[in-house]
């Protein structure tokens, strides 16, 4: 590439981007179609179906490795440039054999065997024995014992979210007035075993007091091995255990065998050149805890839908260069995100106009007779958006235009707890380096094997795709430096209400 005519700024850009394989080329792609086509809902559903049909897509599992190659082929097929598989190190975790037996003190011949499932990242054990104790309980001491802990998912009234947390809402039917959303996390978030570990427990039994019956809860996923074994029980088995414990002191024996070792995964990337020297990044993650249609075959397919659309346009009709980023290792502490944010810090801080992250085109589900049943409604949509009025207005305008009901524009800081400096989404790794728009829904089944194709909210796919296209087009003519000039410190100078004018 010859560069004598480039400005200093562009020279910096080339130097910065040289480190990012997928962002390196600024040359034009093949000729483009006159009228770009949107990927149809059916097409996007088909992409999701192909990904989720491969099996459990945990980091470094064969299904995830297959998905990386399949994504690479799709990006090449769309004509993207610099399609790259960037290696990352992840923690591969695979449960192999486990069991839980309990008996009353002095009655070891009467053993009750309970079905269970291992707490991810908990330690292996070979017939570990100990006394059971409920935790947390006043006066209970878990040191040297096996702690039994009830876990409930958080339930948040959405009227409060709308009125106290969100900066803006689109709820034409007024559903948020009465809606309470069950989240996929307890108040412990990923620190499920940590209080009892700190108190000296030798083992952990978590009773999943969830609205539906399950003992398969893929949490924690922070790639941090825990020093004691843990098992989950579903609610029914948890009740049996608690009734057994109410009859007198109980001992338990835990065995747990699992593979847990570092392994390789990849971020999949590809780029398209645009009109400016700056960049828009559109991302999601390709791995998931189970077949995981929503988490995040759906986000990955939404990114593919963007790549498909923008690849058909001539370079001059793309407002900025575009990087499509499908991370690996989400279920391994966000390994792919860490890697990208660390290796591309300068790029994110100086060249990126916006990082748009797409996670979970989810149906709301209800629990009926112990089972999860998807409804016709989308799960409440959160749009974590940087404190930049023009960006917030773009997001609000796109939501209104596409009638994306149940939408809340959420702050990128201060949620879910005051003082938090990052949003609770994958875009956490990009804030505050780059302006972000982080779309995310949090259905209660996100870490459960029930997340299959019927949980994807198909009617959302096209409107979401068009909304993101509108947000990108709204960034036309505004550079990476200029958009940062609009950043405000909360509270917002003027409250935004209603739908902004087109
Ligand atoms: Zn996700």
Lowest mean pLDDT among 136-150, 279-293, 346-360: 136-150
CATH for 414: 3.40.630.10
Distance 429 CA to ligand 1 centre (A): 14
Query: How many CB atoms are closer than 10 A to CB 458?
Result: 16
The domain boundary residue, chosen from 234, 260, 286: 260
Residues 290 and 247 in one domain: no
Residues in contact with 449: Cβ distance below 8 Å, sequence separation at least 6, in sequence order: 214, 216, 290, 291
Over the stretch 270-327, which tens digit does the pLDDT of each residue have? 999 999 999 999 999 999 999 999 999 999 999 999 999 999 999 999 999 999 999 9
Residues 79 and 139 in one domain: no
pLDDT digits (tens, 9 = 90+) for 251-265: 999 999 999 999 999
Residue 23 confidence (pLDDT): 62
Q: Which of 1, 17, 11, 10 is nearest to 271 (CA)?
A: 17
pLDDT value at position 28?
47
- Shared domain check, 16 and 107: no
Cβ neighbors of 445 (< 8 A, separation 6 or more) are: 184, 212, 294, 365, 372, 451, 455
The dihedral formed by the CA atoms of 63, 69, 70 and 74, expressed in degrees to the nearest 10? 160
> Separation of 331 CA from ligand 1 center, angstroms?
9
Distance CA 410, CA 412 (A): 6
The span from the CA of 446 to the CA of 214, in Å, is 13
Measured in angstroms, how far is the CA atom of residue 359 from the centroid of ligand 1? Answer: 5
- pLDDT of res. 20: 59
Q: Give the DSSP H/E element, type plus range, for residue 239.
A: helix 235-246
Q: Does the pLDDT at position 49 exceed 60?
A: yes
Residues 374 and 227 in one domain: no
Range of the domain at 464: 12-91+262-485
Average pLDDT over residues 440-461: 98
Range of lowest pLDDT (113-117, 269-273, 494-498)? 494-498
Provide mean pLDDT across the span 234-245.
98
Q: Is residue 416 part of a domain?
A: yes
In a domain, 359, yes or no: yes
CA–centroid distance, 356 to ligand 1, in Å, is 13
Q: What is the DSSP string of 265-277?
A: EEEEEEEE--SSS
Of 114-118, 123-127, 422-426, the range with the lowest mean pLDDT is 422-426
- What domain count does the chain have? 2
Separation of 280 CA from ligand 1 center, angstroms?
A: 20
The domain that holds 226 is classified in CATH as 3.50.30.30
Token match 């939404």: residue?
Answer: 302
Distance 288 CA to ligand 1 centre (A): 7
- Within a domain: 2: no
**Separation of 145 CA from ligand 1 center, angstroms?**
35
152 C-alpha vs ligand 1 centroid, how far in Å?
Answer: 21
* 115 and 126 fall within a common domain: yes
Maximum C-alpha span of the chain: 87
355 alpha carbon – ligand 1 mean position (Å)? 16
Q: How many whole angstroms from its chain centre is CA 23?
A: 24
State the pLDDT at residue 21.
58
83 and 127 assigned to the same domain:
no
Separation of 125 CA from ligand 1 center, angstroms? 31
**Within this chain, do residues 32 and 103 fall inside the same structural domain, yes or no?**
no
Centre of ligand 1 from the C-alpha of residue 157, in Å: 22
- Is the domain of 356 the same as that of 326? yes
Same domain flag for 69 and 209: no
Average predicted confidence (pLDDT) for the chain: 93
Phi and psi for 355 in degrees, rounded to 5?
-110, 115
Residue 471 is predicted with a pLDDT of 98
Contact between 386 and 466 under an 8 Å Cβ cutoff? The reply is no
| Residue where one domain finishes, among candidates 215, 241, 260 | 260
Q: How confident is the model at residue 108 (pLDDT cuts 50, 70, 90)?
A: confident
């Amino acid at each position: 590439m010859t560069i004598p005519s480039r400005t200093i700024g562009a020279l910096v850009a080339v130097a910065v981007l040289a480190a990012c394989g997928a962002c390196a080329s600024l040359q034009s792609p093949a000729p483009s179609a006159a009228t770009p086509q949107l990927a149809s809902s059916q097409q996007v559903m088909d992409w999701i179906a192909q990904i989720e049909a491969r099996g459990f897509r945990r980091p470094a599992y064969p299904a995830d490795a297959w998905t990386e190659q399949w994504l690479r082929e799709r990006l090449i097929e769309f004509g993207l440039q610099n399609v790259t598989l960037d290696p990352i190190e992840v923690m591969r975790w695979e449960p192999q054999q486990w069991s839980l037996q309990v008996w009353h003190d002095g009655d070891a011949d009467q053993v009750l065997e309970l079905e269970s499932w291992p707490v991810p990242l908990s330690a292996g054990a070979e017939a570990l024995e100990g006394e059971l104790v409920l935790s947390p309980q006043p006066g209970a001491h878990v040191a040297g014992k096996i702690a039994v802990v009830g876990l409930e998912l958080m339930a948040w009234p959405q009227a409060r979210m709308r009125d106290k947390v969100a900066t803006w809402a689109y709820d034409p039917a007024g559903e948020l007035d009465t809606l309470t959303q069950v989240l996929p996390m307890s108040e412990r978030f990923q620190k499920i075993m940590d209080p009892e570990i700190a108190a000296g427990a030798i083992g952990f039994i978590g009773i999943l007091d969830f609205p539906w019956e399950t003992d398969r809860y893929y949490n924690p996923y922070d790639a941090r091995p825990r020093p004691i074994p843990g098992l989950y029980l579903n609610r029914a088995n948890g009740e049996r255990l608690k009734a057994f414990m109410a009859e007198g002191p109980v001992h338990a024996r835990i065995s747990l065998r699992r593979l847990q070792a570092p392994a390789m995964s990849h971020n999949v990337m590809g780029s398209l050149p645009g009109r400016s020297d700056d960049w828009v990044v559109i991302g999601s993650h390709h791995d998931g805890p189970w077949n995981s249609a929503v988490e995040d075959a759906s986000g990955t397919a939404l990114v593919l839908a963007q790549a498909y659309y923008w690849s058909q346009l001539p370079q001059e009709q793309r407002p900025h260069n575009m990087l499509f980023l499908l991370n690996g290792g989400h279920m391994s502490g966000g390994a792919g995100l860490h890697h990208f944010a660390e290796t591309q810090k300068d790029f994110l801080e100086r060249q990126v106009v916006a990082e748009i992250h797409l996670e979970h085109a989810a149906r709301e589900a209800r629990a009926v007779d112990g089972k999860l049943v998807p409804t016709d409604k989308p799960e409440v949509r959160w749009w974590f958006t940087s404190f930049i009025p023009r960006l917030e207005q773009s997001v609000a305008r796109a939501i209104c235009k596409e009638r994306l009901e149940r939408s809340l524009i959420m702050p990128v800081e201060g949620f879910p707890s005051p003082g938090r400096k990052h949003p609770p989404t994958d875009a956490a790794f990009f804030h505050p380096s780059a302006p972000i728009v982080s779309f995310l829904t949090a259905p209660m089944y996100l870490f459960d094997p029930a997340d299959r194709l019927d949980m994807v909210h198909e009617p959302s796919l096209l409107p979401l795709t068009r909304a993101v296209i509108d947000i990108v087009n709204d960034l036309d003519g505004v550079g990476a430096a200029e958009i940062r000039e609009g950043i405000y410190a909360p509270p917002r100078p003027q409250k935004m209400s209603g739908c902004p004018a087109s």
